[in-house]
Amino acid sequence: MDKRYLIAAALCLASSSAIQAASAATNTSLSVQQQKGNIIQGVVVDQNGEPIIGASVRVKGTSNGTVTDLDGKFTLTHANGAVEVSYIGYKSQVIKNAKGNNLHITLQEDANSLEDVVVVGYGQQKKASLTSAITQIKGDEVFKDRTVSSTAVALQGEIPGLTVTRSSTRPGSEGAAFQIRGDISVNGNSSPLIIIDGVTGSLDELNSMDGNDIDNISVLKDASAAIYGSRAASGVILVTTKRGKEGKAHISYNGSISRTINGIQAPMTSTSEWLDMFYEAQYNDASVTSGSSDPTTIHNNINWWIFNSFGGPTLDTTDIDPATGNPTVYKGEKLFNALREGKVLTLQNGNKIERWDPTQNMMDALYGQATSQKHHVNISGADKRFGYNLSLGYESAKSQLKPAYDGQRKWSGRLNADYKATDDLKFSTNISYEKRDVQSPSTDVGQGWMDQWFWTLYNENGDPYDTFSGSRNPLGGLTKGGTYKYQLTTLRGNVSGTYDFKKFVKGLTLTGNAAYKMVEQNSQTSKYKVQYYDWVGTETGNKQAPGSMYQENKRWENINLSALLNYQNTFAKYHNVAAMVGVTAEQETNKNIALGRYKGPMYENAGIEDMNLFVGGDNNAANGGKSSWGLLSYLTRVSYNFDNRYSVEFLGRRDGSSKLSTAQRWKNFYSISGYWRISGEKWMKSLTWLNDLKLRYNYGKTGSVEGIGNYERYATVSTGSTILGTSSSAHTTMWLGGMTSDQRTWETIDSHNFGLDFTLLNNRLSGSFDYFIKTNNGMFISVEYPQVLGASAPKVNDGKFRARGWEFALNWRDKIGQVKYNVGINLSDAWSEVLKLTNNENVPNAGKNSNRLIGKPRNAIYVYQTDGLFQNQEEVNAYYEMYYWNADHTGPKEGNILPAPGKQITNTLRPGARKVVDLNGDGKITRDDIYYAGDAAPRLSFGFKAGLEWKGIDFNAFFQGIGKQKVLRSGYFYAPWVVNYVRQNNTFMGKMWSEENPNAEYAISSRDVNFNKWNYENKDVSVQNNKYIRLKSLVVGYTLPRTWTTKAGLEKVRFYFSGDDLWEWTKVKDGYDPEYGEASNNTFPFSRQLTFGLDLTF
Amino acid sequence: MSKQLFVFPLLLLSLLLGACSDEEEGRITIDDSAPAQVTNVVATSVAGGVTLSWDNPSSKSFMYTKVVYTNAKGAESYELYSKQHADDAGKMQTTINGFVKTEPVTFKLFACSVRGNNSGAVEVQGTPGAPNFAKVLDKITVDPSYGGIKVGYINEFDENVNVSVSYKSTSDASKSGSCKFAVSPKSQGAQFVRLTYGNDNQFITKEECEITIHTEDNYDNASDDRTYQVTPQEVQILDRSNWSVPGYDNSSSAATIGYDSQEAVGEGANNGRVTCMFDGNTNTFWHTKWKNGNDQYPHWFIVDLGSEHTLASIEITGRINNKNEQTGEQIFVCTNAGATDPSNPSNWDWKDMGEYSFDPNNDAPQNVDLTDKLPKARYIKVYIGEKFRGASDFAMISEFNVYAID
């Protein structure tokens, strides 16, 4: 059943039961002490008794008013009649016949989020007046109390429609990616545009920011992004940093220390598990190849593989073989059995001394626990003229990797300042500096999956041991192989001035803004020769000799200038008009330098990593590059609404880009949207339980940067030498690197969004639902031209792609007695479909079909249907009779993919093998017998939040997950022995067929790779259902009572414990973490974090 | 009230996780209903077997018929017949052979679904006729030949018959051995059998032997034995140390005047070359070139026996544990006098000795019988034309021997 109907039904359910709750409105408390006279004095406080600074106290209907001071106090003269007390975010109160000089007014927080101000492109709007699918979250809700080192990863599950994926929990190497509402093209990754305080940013830059500096993040999901024009196709993420708030200065510190522990480990065998799996497989294979059913005969036919080619006489002089009188020779079965018994052996094999040690555990040697910490200091405040927010942050986070440092450190400093020069003129500036250093070993991270390590890890001298291939022990690479260092430095500066023309025209302002950004990314990879030794220190082998140093510096500079003219006014009480016109100019230049020396270090173990200390040679690398682009844009937004009931908004942007040919240079992007507030209609007023109900629609066109190069319109010319002429000789020739086209332009997305926002039950329940369709009508695709063309042709705007989906969010906030609590859920789905690829006649292949099938998503998984396992030879014979043999019984049918029938060979169908279904009923098993198993993209992503507060105790839990995703695992571990010389996936242990276990889930164990591929490769049993739910964050905090803390001169003291990724449930049954992705050749476990933190405010 | 609402998102979440329908398409439900039984079952007798015919049911789930019966050895056995072997009218016919006695046999026919589900058996009795293989024995003849015997046979029947030959020297029982060969339906001829024993190309010649012969069907049913006394005529196996290959180049894979190809790189230092056929080691072999590109058929080579002999037979052993070799060869011979220009063997006076088939699945030495021709020859040319291409581009021979009467 389609989930959309489910949700619609659920909505009906909610609204019918909600009617009864209508009367449950909370009473506003108010205590007024009266006194005679027309001067009133008092104090305004919030529910917690804290003074509210800057609250407005005014005689209703007059201009006679004042605001509260830093202590929340006020004095109002001529207070005749009703006095209204109001403050943003709180419910206004009207006090009739206010009298006295000791008024104590408690304002109740207004839970109605409709009054929230939402950051939209080049402006702000009240949430109530939004016409588009824009979701904003407060920075404090997401980043506070979270220890996760990546700012991007912290956003996972927070915003419906924004899918955040990661492939690792290693700090600085998370592999995080954003996607808003699914894919929009077969080109690129459909990553959204990130704007940080009005300037183009990137995921890397966002990750460098301290989450505590972020005031809010706003996500433009539909064509409201069109105000960002040619870069907006995948949506826009607007990050806004915190500014000083009018009132008393606050100095706050928050710090935390956390412990990282292992979460889900890669499901790889321990030595004893591997030996058991090996024996089972080899015994089964020996049973087939020997043709015997006698256990002893079968056992004697077992191939002992590596145990035959290794081993030798023991060096333990007490271990004498009674049969020979000489030291026992451990080889073959004898060696195998000794290991299975857990014996540690030192053996002479030729001139190498082998050390066999089945008690060692590679995973324990590689991964342990780590400690991370975070500190953040903030000073902020503002008076009537000057506001400031200064913050400094430091963070150090490490992964669980034991043998070497693997982690990141972050430093950040920021000053956001506001200055009101006059009543009409206002300036604000932002300056920030962020530095992020990631360091990890350059070699062997995530390794340790290749060999089952029955050997010692280090030899008797403490050096990395390896007699096997001479170069595979990952402890060698991790400890001696060199480092990878990555530094990202971001400097941002921005100044803006706003002049309010209120003296001339009410509601007209002009804002000029200039911003500069410099990002420098330096990476350095050093690699050293890693020497391996046998047990006594004889050199066995080495890798990556002689060593190398590679360094890459990249620098981006971005200048962004803009001027915006804003007008906003209300006519005749009901007609609200807002208009904005603006112009922006942006230029970004990029410069790269890369250097490399590949002849090894000058001095072994010098400990200093510098290019000068590496040997230069004829293979040095020295590369550079430089590029630049500019964008000139005109913007406008015009909106009109009547009585907040009917609204229409138009926004447009005209982008001119240096990247395109003059013919295609200018292009318009726009959106038209509107809403109808149904709850504003008179006939809806009787529904008292309904606070707000708004229907929205948005249509527009946005552009995609994907597939357009910086120097798109220029063809490069290369020179060389060609032999030509009647008397053939070499001549200098030149040729074009590729053809260019002046027909090429941005991929343009047509987008429709239908939305519904509602708040019910005295603003306690709020929610929204959106449905969208995005169509990419000019997707870049390659077109085949005749060979005579002579050069590679550019891709053309001739493909078509569509994404559809929906989002749903529901939040409930209420208070029962002293307990404040809230529950929220959001879920969303997006599915993509390739609609047109010119001349495409592709048929599905078994496995993952990427960007090649019309009518299917970008990554469509096709597999064979299977029907259990053969239980006996007769079933096998019947299967061969039905599907294998041709009419004359002389050979296989045409297109047959079954392994040939045979005796005493392992790669043949036999009891315990898997049956593949003849899906198309043509009487044979061919590569056409596959079906569509689903979409490899993450679908139905959701977040679930619950929080409560009671007497200073706060509790928050946040779950995140994916409801639908199919994964066909790649690599070596998706099934047992599909690569038969590596460690194995231990989740298959004990679940494989045998005559004693005929109802087993998996096929009979075998070390025949081809036989195992028959049983598992691209079969339905290997498709992992990747749905999961994970406890992303759990926070329990306690704020000390104010009465205690004020005595110590502190405003607030809070302790908290928090945990990240503490628990998960998943349908994945091959043992991998659901966020791992497809890959399996990796031992790095996901982590969990336990944190203790402290918040102090002075 | 508010508590109920609290439950609502949880409910929604559990719905989402639990009842999530997946968008797969194209999976089928397997129809494993029991098909109707087969009909019109008729059993008729044939020699050594029973021919059964029946009508397949028209049930959609019907996939194959299983016929269960008790075989000549008293064991229950079965045969399976896919529905695809039926004629257009859905009629099936098959003959079940391997019976010796002419007593009635009960056949149970099950019409099965893809997983073997069925509605029970239809039983029919059939009486096999007397088998034919014993009758073939009556027409077997045994004659002496050069270094062996010739077993003459006439098979007038429609099935394969296997002839089993065992032999021993009358004077020395340690010289003994056995072999078996198949005689095709409707055929007659004479099979040369070399009376080998031991491991070193030893064979009985010029002494009286006792030959015991019986015939078998394809189901291991055997006739009575018959014995014959024969004295094979003398031949000798030629000493290969005097042999050579014209134009031989140990270090190159390229064609010369004496052969079209060899693999002088990819098989190692002492393997792959033409001369590896003459080293008495079945682990080394002549292999046509594969490294850096396969040489294509036809393949051929010439052996210089060093002096002229009267040839009785040639014995060729394929590459051991390999089934991708040639499937036959054509033999030419040339006398000392016929070899005119030593540098150009293609101009010599080659006599065509005919084409012989070669079984790539058989690792034993395979005989080329020249006893009818007894050609005089110093040179032998083995020519493996395109028609004898096996499962690969390669000709591969591990051993090559020649038997001569002088």
Alpha carbon of B290: minimum distance to chain A alpha carbons (Å):
25
- B27, B84, B116 ranked by CB distance to A875: nearest: B116
- Which pLDDT does position B120 carry in this prediction? 93
| Distance (Å, whole) CA A163 – CA A831 | 13
Cα angle: A673, vertex A676, A681; to 5 degrees: 165
Model confidence pLDDT, tens digit, residues A936-974: 988 889 999 999 988 889 999 999 999 889 999 999 999
Counted across chains A and B, CB pairs separated by less than 8 A come out at 109
Among residues B94, B163, B108, B106, the alpha carbon closest in space to that of B134 is found at B163
3-state secondary structure of B323: coil
Q: CA nearest A946 in B: which residue? A: B6
- Which pLDDT does position A16 carry in this prediction? 40
A6 contacts in chain B (CB < 8 Å): 15
- A13, A24, A934 ranked by CB distance to B23: nearest: A934
Amino acid at A483: T
- Which pLDDT does position A789 carry in this prediction? 65
- Which pLDDT does position A23 carry in this prediction? 36
- Which pLDDT does position B220 carry in this prediction? 84
Question: Mutating which of B3, B5, B7 best tests the A interface, going by the most A Cβ atoms within 10 A?
Answer: B5
CB within 8 Å: B2 and A20: no
How far, CA to CA in Å, does B87 sit from each of A215, A455, A1090? Answer: 80, 64, 73
Question: Mutating which of A823, A826, A893 best tests the B interface, going by the most B Cβ atoms within 10 A?
Answer: A823
| Distance (Å, whole) CA A306 – CA A332 | 8
Amino acid at A671: S
- Asked if A455 contacts A354 with a C-beta cutoff of 8 angstroms, the reply is yes
CB within 8 Å: B8 and A7: no
Chain B positions with Cβ closer than 8 Å to A: 1-2, 4-6, 8-9, 11-13, 15-17, 19-28, 30, 63-64, 66, 78, 80-82, 84-85, 112, 114-116
- Which pLDDT does position A974 carry in this prediction? 93
Q: How many CB atoms lie under 10 A from the CB of residue B91?
A: 12
CB within 8 Å: B5 and A7: no
Q: CA nearest A7 in B: which residue? A: B12
CB within 8 Å: B17 and A887: no
- Asked if A959 contacts A1031 with a C-beta cutoff of 8 angstroms, the reply is yes
pLDDT band at A150 (very low <50, low <70, confident <90, very high): confident
A764 contacts in chain B (CB < 8 Å): 2
Q: Provide the token pair at B380.
A: 């032998």
CB within 8 Å: A961 and B112: no
Question: Percent of chain A beyond pLDDT 70?
Answer: 95
pLDDT at A727 over 80: no
A54-62 contact pairs (CB < 8 A, 24+): A54/A87, A54/A246, A54/A247, A55/A85, A55/A86, A55/A87, A55/A90, A55/A107, A56/A84, A56/A85, A56/A86, A56/A87, A57/A83, A57/A84, A57/A85, A58/A83, A58/A84, A58/A85, A58/A86, A59/A83, A59/A84, A60/A84, A60/A94
CB within 8 Å: B25 and A885: no
DSSP letter assigned to residue A684? G
Look at the alpha carbons of A267, A271, A276, A277 in this order and tell me if their dihedral is positive or negative.
positive
Alpha carbon of A757: minimum distance to chain B alpha carbons (Å):
17
CB within 8 Å: A881 and B82: yes
Residues ≥6 apart with Cβ < 8 Å to A982: A449, A450, A451, A452, A972, A973
3-state secondary structure of A139: helix
Residues of chain B with pLDDT under 70: 1-22
Average pLDDT of span A196-210: 90
- A294-308, A751-765, A1083-1097, B20-34: segment of lowest average pLDDT: B20-34
Alpha carbon of B1: minimum distance to chain A alpha carbons (Å):
7
CB within 8 Å: A874 and B20: no
pLDDT at A199 over 50: yes
Alpha carbon of B220: minimum distance to chain A alpha carbons (Å):
18
Task: Read off φ and ψ for residue A24, nearest 5 degrees.
Answer: -80, 35
Model confidence pLDDT, tens digit, residues A298-322: 999 999 998 998 999 999 989 998 9
| Distance (Å, whole) CA A1035 – CA A307 | 52
Q: Provide the token pair at A194.
A: 């990130």
The DSSP bridge pattern shows strands A1087-1097 and A1052-1066 to be antiparallel
Question: Mutating which of B1, B3, B8, B29 best tests the A interface, going by the most A Cβ atoms within 10 A?
Answer: B8
- A20, A917, A931 ranked by CB distance to B30: nearest: A917
- Which pLDDT does position A681 carry in this prediction? 84
Q: Provide the token pair at A795.
A: 């891709």
Q: Provide the token pair at A786.
A: 């005749």
Average pLDDT of span A613-637: 92
Q: Provide the token pair at A592.
A: 């790269």
| Distance (Å, whole) CA A274 – CA A1073 | 21
| Distance (Å, whole) CA A214 – CA A550 | 35
- A408-417, A584-593, A787-796: segment of lowest average pLDDT: A787-796
pLDDT at A37 over 60: no
CB within 8 Å: A816 and B2: yes
Q: CA nearest A868 in B: which residue? A: B115
| Distance (Å, whole) CA A372 – CA A1057 | 14
Which of A198 and A469 is assigned the larger pLDDT? A198
Complex-level ipTM: 0.78
| Distance (Å, whole) CA A490 – CA A516 | 11
Q: Provide the token pair at B155.
A: 């098979």
B230 CB-contact burial (10 Å; exposed 0-12 / middle 13-18 / buried 19+): buried
pLDDT at A329 over 70: yes
Among residues A611, A602, A414, A587, the alpha carbon closest in space to that of A516 is found at A587
CB within 8 Å: A14 and B8: yes
Average pLDDT of span A766-781: 90
- Which pLDDT does position A30 carry in this prediction? 38
| Distance (Å, whole) CA A983 – CA A269 | 6
- A476-480, A687-691, A986-990, B114-118: segment of lowest average pLDDT: A687-691
- Which pLDDT does position A643 carry in this prediction? 86
CB within 8 Å: A881 and B115: no
Cα angle: A22, vertex A27, A30; to 5 degrees: 160
A804 contacts in chain B (CB < 8 Å): none
Which of A786 and A356 is assigned the larger pLDDT? A356
CB within 8 Å: B17 and A875: no
- Which pLDDT does position A707 carry in this prediction? 77
Question: Mutating which of A862, A881, A920, A1018 best tests the B interface, going by the most B Cβ atoms within 10 A?
Answer: A881
A65 CB-contact burial (10 Å; exposed 0-12 / middle 13-18 / buried 19+): middle
- Asked if B314 contacts B402 with a C-beta cutoff of 8 angstroms, the reply is yes
- Which pLDDT does position A790 carry in this prediction? 65
Q: CA nearest B21 in A: which residue? A: A1
Look at the alpha carbons of A151, A152, A156, A158 in this order and tell me if their dihedral is positive or negative.
positive
pLDDT at A21 over 70: no
The secondary element (H helix, E strand) that includes residue A204 is helix A203-208
CB within 8 Å: B26 and A932: yes
CB within 8 Å: A810 and B9: yes
- Which pLDDT does position A341 carry in this prediction? 94
